[in-house]
Amino acid sequence: MQSSKRSESDWQGLVSEFLVCKRKLESKKEALLILSKELDTCQQERDQYKLMANQLRERHQGLKKKYRELILLCIYSSLPPAPQVNLAQLLRDSRERAKQLAEEVKELTQRLAEAQGDNKLLRMTITRQRLGDEEVGVRHFPAHEREDLVCKLERAGLQMEEMENNMKALTDELQDVKAERTVFREKAERLNVELNHILGNHEARIIDVDALCMENKYLHDRLNQLQEEVNLLKSNIMKYKTALERRKNSSTYGKSNNSPLTGVLSAKQVQEMLLEEQGCSLPATPQSIADLKSLATALLETIHEKNLVIQHQRHSNRILGNRVADLERKLKTLEVSGLWSLPGGSLNS
């Protein structure tokens, strides 16, 4: 029973507290509504005051502007009226003023020249008094000119030092090149002596390696040319063999007079065939046409062979020309190096 009473009393206390909190909440709500209304009222008053302030500011600016205009109007009204000036009079006055200014410029220029002359004379006098030389004016230089001359001398000295260094470097390089040339020359001489000893040549005439290389090149070219000539001769021999076999076969069958021409003709045979009187009145028979074709073929082959011979001859001439040019260069090199001289001179080995 006591527990039920306590719980009922607690519940009543809680209900009373709830009612109290509810009343407080309602009062707070009413206070909040009142504050919001007051806030709206304050904002409206603020906007009104701001509008009034802007209006007052604009009115103040307008009054200030009107006040300035009134002051300027009073000042202009108090000034005397400006006299009317003639344009021709203004032009004459400006010309006279220009003449006066030109004369003043001339006078100032003359004064400047006199002042410069006096300044120069004063400097020369001071220099004479300081150095005691009557001719010092001829050799005297102002301070700034002396500075320029000193700078030029310093630059010239630097350039001279640089050129001296370059000359020393070039001299050293020249000495190195001379030393290398001497080394290569001695090496070539040793190689020539060793080669001469290996080949068992006479000591009075030492074989030159460069000359051997040139000779080897010349012989190689000659060998190639001879091989080409051998091939050409072989082809001619084959043609002659073929022609001989054809002639033998034709003589065997008794057709030597009616057989077509072979592919090999001599110059005398061609001349005899062209000078025959019957050649101009040959009948248009298959045999005569075949003979003419054979003759043309033989002539073409002969011309081709002659062209090949001419080409080989030109190639031989070119090889000989190169050989002569190489020998001339070799002789010139030996003459410049002092290892060869004209007949009657001495050989410096």
The mean per-residue pLDDT over the stretch 91-96 comes to 84
**Nearest C-alpha neighbor of 48 from the set 60, 56, 59:** 56
- What is the pLDDT confidence band of residue 325, given thresholds at 50, 70 and 90? confident
Examine the domain organization and report whether 299 and 247 are in the same domain: yes
- Contact (Cβ atoms closer than 8 angstroms) between residue 136 and residue 124: yes
Q: What is the pLDDT of residue 159?
A: 92
Examine the domain organization and report whether 320 and 254 are in the same domain: yes
Output the CA–CA distances (angstroms, integers) from residue 243 to 196, 201, 239, 261, 296, in the order listed: 54, 52, 6, 9, 16
Domain of 316, in residue numbers: 208-271+286-337
Say yes or no to pLDDT of 12 above 80. Answer: yes
Q: Which of 66-70, 77-81, 191-195, 317-321 has the lowest mean pLDDT?
A: 77-81
Instruction: Tell me, yes or no, whether 262 lies in a domain.
Output: yes
Examine the domain organization and report whether 156 and 242 are in the same domain: no
Examine the domain organization and report whether 250 and 156 are in the same domain: no
Instruction: Tell me, yes or no, whether 165 lies in a domain.
Output: yes
pLDDT tens digits along 112-155: 888 888 887 877 777 677 666 555 444 555 666 777 888 888 89
Examine the domain organization and report whether 103 and 186 are in the same domain: no
Instruction: Tell me, yes or no, whether 133 lies in a domain.
Output: yes
Highest-confidence segment of 29-38, 96-105, 163-172: 163-172
Residue that terminates a domain, selected from 140, 172, 194? 140
Examine the domain organization and report whether 249 and 295 are in the same domain: yes
Say yes or no to pLDDT of 50 above 50. Answer: yes
Pairwise CA distance, residues 209 & 231, whole Å: 33
Pairwise CA distance, residues 100 & 106, whole Å: 10
The mean per-residue pLDDT over the stretch 9-37 comes to 86
Q: What is the pLDDT of residue 248?
A: 77
Examine the domain organization and report whether 321 and 232 are in the same domain: yes
Examine the domain organization and report whether 182 and 99 are in the same domain: no
% the chain with pLDDT above 90: 6
Q: What is the pLDDT of residue 255?
A: 46
Q: What is the pLDDT of residue 163?
A: 93
Say yes or no to pLDDT of 22 above 70. Answer: yes
Say yes or no to pLDDT of 165 above 80. Answer: yes
Residue 287 in tokens: 């045999």
Q: What is the pLDDT of residue 44?
A: 84
- Contact (Cβ atoms closer than 8 angstroms) between residue 191 and residue 206: no
| Cα Rg of the chain, angstroms | 65
Examine the domain organization and report whether 154 and 248 are in the same domain: no
Contacts with 115 (C-beta within 8 Å, 6 or more apart), sequence order: none
Instruction: Output the CA torsion 237→241→246→249 (10° steps).
Output: 170
Examine the domain organization and report whether 302 and 229 are in the same domain: yes
% the chain with pLDDT above 70: 72
Instruction: Tell me, yes or no, whether 101 lies in a domain.
Output: yes
- What is the pLDDT confidence band of residue 172, given thresholds at 50, 70 and 90? very high
The mean per-residue pLDDT over the stretch 40-50 comes to 83
pTM: 0.32
- Contact (Cβ atoms closer than 8 angstroms) between residue 320 and residue 225: no
Examine the domain organization and report whether 218 and 136 are in the same domain: no
Instruction: Tell me, yes or no, whether 35 lies in a domain.
Output: no
Q: What is the pLDDT of residue 82?
A: 46
Examine the domain organization and report whether 187 and 302 are in the same domain: no
Pairwise CA distance, residues 177 & 10, whole Å: 126
Q: What is the pLDDT of residue 349?
A: 38
Say yes or no to pLDDT of 267 above 60. Answer: no
Instruction: Tell me, yes or no, whether 236 lies in a domain.
Output: yes
Helices (H), the chain: 2-78, 87-131, 136-139, 143-199, 209-252, 267-275, 286-337
Q: What is the DSSP letter of 277?
A: G
Instruction: Tell me, yes or no, whether 81 lies in a domain.
Output: no
- What is the pLDDT confidence band of residue 347, given thresholds at 50, 70 and 90? very low
Residue that terminates a domain, selected from 120, 140, 160? 140
Instruction: Tell me, yes or no, whether 52 lies in a domain.
Output: no
pLDDT tens digits along 202-247: 655 556 666 777 777 778 888 888 888 888 888 878 877 887 787 7
Q: Give the number of other Cβ atoms within 10 Å of residue 47's Cβ.
A: 10
Residue that terminates a domain, selected from 140, 175, 193? 140
Number of domains in the chain: 3
pLDDT tens digits along 66-79: 877 777 776 666 55
